[in-house]
Amino acid sequence: MSQPAFKDPMAQEEALLVVNRLRKAFGQRLMFDIEDWCIEAGRAYVLTGANGVGKTTLLRILAGLESADVSDITFLGRPARLHPYPPELRQAVVYVHQHPVMFSTSVEKNIAYGLEARGLPKQEIAGRVGAALEWAGVTHLTDARPQNLSGGEKQRVALARAKVLEPTLLLLDEPTANLDGASREQVIALIPELVEAGTSVIMACHDRDLIALPGTLRLKLQDGQLHLRAGRRAPPTASLLLGGDRRT
Ligand X SMILES: Nc1ncnc2c1ncn2[C@@H]1O[C@H](COP(=O)(O)OP(=O)(O)OP(=O)(O)O)[C@@H](O)[C@H]1O
Residues with Cβ within 8 Å of residue 180, at least 6 apart in sequence:
none
The CB density around residue 67, as the number of other CB atoms within 10 Å, is 11
Whole-number minimum distance, CB 56 to Mg ion, in Å? 3
Kindly state whether residue 28 participates in binding ligand X, applying the rule CB under 6 A: no
Choosing from 17, 44, 55, 153, the residue that interacts with ligand X (CB under 6 A) is 55
Nearer to ligand X, 11 or 50 (CB): 50
Nearer to Mg ion, 94 or 129 (CB): 94
Nearest in space to 221 (alpha carbons), one of 61, 40, 16: 61
Query: What does 186 interact with, of ligand X, Mg ion, none (CB < 5 to 8 A by kind)?
Result: none
Q: Residue 102, SS3?
A: coil
β-bridge partners, 30: 25
Kindly state whether residue 57 participates in binding ligand X, applying the rule CB under 6 A: yes
- How far, in Å, CA of 117 to CA of 68, rounded? 27
> In the complex, which residues of this chain contact Mg ion (CB under 5 A)?
55-56
Nearer to Mg ion, 108 or 207 (CB): 207
The stretch near ligand X (CB under 6 A) out of 52-60, 103-111, 131-139, 178-186 is 52-60
- The alpha carbon of residue 210 and the mean position of all alpha carbons in its chain are separated, in whole angstroms, by 12
Cα Rg of the chain, angstroms: 18
The stretch near ligand X (CB under 6 A) out of 13-21, 50-58, 124-132, 138-146 is 50-58
Kindly state whether residue 222 participates in binding ligand X, applying the rule CB under 6 A: no
